[in-house]
Structure 1
Amino acid sequence: MRISFLGLGVMGYPMAGHLVKAGFEVRVYNRTTAKAEQWAKEYAGQAVATVAECVEDADVVLVCVGNDDDVRSVTTSATGAIANMKAGAILVDHTTTSANLAEELLEATAKANLRFIDAPVSGGQAGAENGVLTVMCGGDPSDFDAMQPVFDAYAKSSVLMGKAGQGQRAKMVNQICIAGALTGLSEGLLLAEKSGLDVHTLVDCLKNGAAGSWQMENRANTMAQDKFDFGFAIDWMIKDLGFCLEEAKQHDLKLPLTEASTEAYKALSAEGLGRMDTSVLLKAIRKQAES
């Protein structure tokens, strides 16, 4: 199986590397050519200068870039993947995008006699590096089954949520839950701090109970130490929560916590913290609690 990977950011770079380790023939493209060349040297893969050259003859094309417009630039543009892929190949978008874009890509790939799966991932940079991501998929069941050996290279779980677009909608729910968990965790840590509780001991006590979560186990101690320079940047979270609110609007739903979290993250980004991890929400919660 010949695989092309478009986008070598903090997620795509290690994901593409895991594919080489799993024995796949991998060709990569990145907007910054030096990054692709660095990857090729590290993993003994092939780096090319254009999307068209990258996807030529590929059985599977994986995309992991920044936002809807970034995806369009490497897929539906005149020089993008769809115009240059061979008939019958599968396009898989691992980018977190709007569900509308997933449906747009389904239509575009169908016209080109291609197959499509929207497959956003969860697990962050650490999950990508360790090959333990969760993949939420929307698409045809037979295409999903065909992709299992690929997903297995960098994920611990891949689940078909329904038709194209449903993978992105599942990711929206994921991001809402993260925002809620971090809001509660932030308020809990503030009370722990004021009450004189040792956070490390507290986390060991709570993590295996009903309050336990990935956020608690992996972020509570660093939050208490005022460390936020890692993980999933809040500027990306603002984008993702925007998709959530837009989807909710289409269903006449109001999501108060999600709206409040989005505004808090926007305020933090305006303060120059846009590249900090999402757990920096603690700073906004602290300001609200102590005002």
Structure 2
Amino acid sequence: MAKLAFLGLGVMGYPMAGHLVAKGHAVTVYNRTAAKADAWVAQYGGAMAATPAAAATGADFVMACVGNDDDLRAVCLGETGAFEGMEEGAIFVDHTTVSAKVTRELAQAADALGLGFVDAPVSGGQAGAENGVLSVMCGGAEAHYAAAEPVIAAYAKICRRLGESGAGQMAKMCNQIAIAGLVQGLSESLHFAEKAGLSIPELVEVISQGAAGSWQMVNRAETMAANKFDFGFAVDWMRKDLGICLETANETGASLPVTALVDQFYKDVQKMGGNRWDTSSLIARLRKLD
């Protein structure tokens, strides 16, 4: 079993770090709000530290799941950053969804210090984190990935290396692009069904078994029909991710017309006060347009 640090105890990081303890690892956590770290230690055991550097001291692996590019830089760099506390040969595993640009920047900084760096964004939402069945998309050196994969397995249903540093983040962008269009399509389908007077449960039972079936349909159709949107990944975070996708598309020359449109639909949801609603709330926008 390894000595680990986990930085960031949000809706994803909190249960992910718990799974590491359940697998027998020695885990020290850091969270910007210390009360959350106190609560985690009370629930799972382990230890907490006042800074990322202190949490990372002596750790074989340092896992992070924070908010955005700036948050990630803050927990990695500087006198109190994790890189300051890590020993040569230790590996940093970043589960945050950030730009490939910051990933490559930090991977280079880690390499200069003799540290490994694996970008490993996740998909599966809060439920996936709590149940330990996340999909993990990784980039980085093969040796660093091979060392980190057995640790990541504590909360992963599938974990794959897709290339060098930044490849994991590029894969996560593909994931978010696919979800954006799918959720809008499902929202329109259910909205149409409501207008047509169809039974949503009966409709979903039938069409989910055919080509229209998806994880979103199976897991969100019922709550969307009930106008309930408190089930995981928030609209604010989705807009952050789609912003990264659209910015990267401009850099690579990719065309993302549907993604750009759905991003604006999520902006409409924010204007409705749905910043913290989950991503299935696109249907609320359609209902408002009636």
Q: TM-score range by the shorter chain?
A: over 0.9
Deviation at 1:245, TM superposition (A): 0.3
Alignment check: 8 A CA contact 1:63 1:93 kept: yes
Tell me, in whole angstroms, the C-alpha distance in 1 between the residues paired with 2:135 and 2:254: 27
Deviation at 1:253, TM superposition (A): 2.7
Tell me, in whole angstroms, the C-alpha distance in 2 between the residues paired with 1:172 and 1:52: 29
Tell me, in whole angstroms, the C-alpha distance in 2 between the residues paired with 1:103 and 1:52: 21
Tell me, in whole angstroms, the C-alpha distance in 2 between the residues paired with 1:169 and 1:286: 33
SS in structure 1 at match of 2:85 = coil
Counterpart in the other structure of 2:261: 260
Counterpart in the other structure of 1:165: 166
Does residue 150 of structure 2 align to residue 128 of structure 1?
A: no
Counterpart in the other structure of 1:50: 51
Does residue 201 of structure 2 align to residue 204 of structure 1?
A: no
Alignment check: 8 A CA contact 2:9 2:36 kept: yes
Deviation at 1:254, TM superposition (A): 2.8
Deviation at 1:286, TM superposition (A): 3.8
Counterpart in the other structure of 2:12: 11
Tell me, in whole angstroms, the C-alpha distance in 1 between the residues paired with 2:141 and 2:207: 41
Deviation at 1:271, TM superposition (A): 2.4
Counterpart in the other structure of 1:143: 144
Q: Which stretch of the first structure deviates more once superposed, 247-256 or 154-163?
A: 247-256
Percent identity at matched positions?
Answer: 56
Unaligned runs of at least 5 residues, structure 1: none
Q: Deviation digits for residues 2-52 of structure 1, max 9, x if unmatched?
A: 000000000000000000000101110011111111101111111111212
Counterpart in the other structure of 1:273: 274
Q: Which structure 2 residues correspond to residues 71-220 of structure 1 after superposition, within 5 A?
A: 71-220=72-221
Which 4+ stretches in 1 moved above 6 angstroms? none
Partner amino acid for 1:132? Answer: V
Tell me, in whole angstroms, the C-alpha distance in 2 between the residues paired with 1:77 and 1:223: 44
Does residue 49 of structure 2 align to residue 26 of structure 1?
A: no
Deviation at 1:287, TM superposition (A): 4.3
Q: Deviation digits for residues 125-164 of structure 1, max 9, x if unmatched?
A: 0000000000000011121111122111101100111011
TM value normalised by structure 2: 0.97
Equivalent pairs, count: 289
Tell me, in whole angstroms, the C-alpha distance in 2 between the residues paired with 1:248 and 1:155: 28
SS in structure 2 at match of 1:142 = helix
Unaligned runs of at least 5 residues, structure 2: none
Q: Which structure 2 residues correspond to residues 56-67 of structure 1 after superposition, within 5 A?
A: 56-67=57-68
Partner amino acid for 1:244? Answer: C
